[in-house]
């Protein structure tokens, strides 16, 4: 019985990566985006756990996003969407092909909190 439970949990994330999306949006707006930095940190940790490697580096992302006036963040939104799409697809889970492009387009129009919410929805689906 234990083996079946372990098989079912392959590719799943611990609950620590689950974020209430509505609260994430509200806190991000109330803190003028400061909570969004923490939210991205949690999402980077979740993506690294899914990928099994240190692909997403918060400090590097933060510094390069500031230096490039947000252009690097747009790239990272696309990259995260691509990796999330590939992972969900490999697990046989339904996912929209437009996920990476949607995240990047929302970032271009300074709607990053919406792309964070969309990506968090997908991450929450993977949480135990």
Q: What is the pTM of this model?
A: 0.88
**What pLDDT was estimated at residue 12?**
82
Distance between CA atoms of 25 and 120, rounded to whole angstroms?
11
Which of the 8 DSSP states describes residue 75? Answer: H
pLDDT in tens, 5-57: 444 544 589 999 999 999 999 999 999 999 999 999 999 999 999 999 999 99
- Phi/psi of residue 103, nearest 5 degrees: -60, -45
What percent of the chain has pLDDT above 90? 89
For residue 89, name the pLDDT band (cuts at 50, 70, 90): very high
Distance CA 40, CA 107 (A): 13
With a cut of 90, say whether residue 128 has pLDDT above it. no
């Amino acid at each position: 019985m234990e083996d079946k439970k372990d098989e079912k949990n392959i590719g799943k994330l611990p609950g620590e990566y689950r974020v209430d999306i509505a609260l994430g949006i509200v806190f991000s707006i109330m803190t003028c985006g400061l909570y969004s930095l923490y939210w991205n940190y949690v999402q980077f940790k979740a993506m690294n756990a899914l990928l099994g490697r240190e692909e997403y580096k918060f400090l590097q992302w933060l510094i390069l996003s500031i230096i490039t006036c947000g252009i690097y963040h747009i790239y990272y939104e696309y990259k995260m969407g691509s990796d999330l799409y590939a992972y969900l697809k490999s697990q046989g889970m339904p996912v929209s092909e437009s996920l990476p492009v949607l995240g990047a387009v929302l970032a271009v129009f300074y709607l990053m909190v919406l792309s964070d919410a969309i990506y968090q929805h997908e991450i929450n689906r993977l949480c135990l």
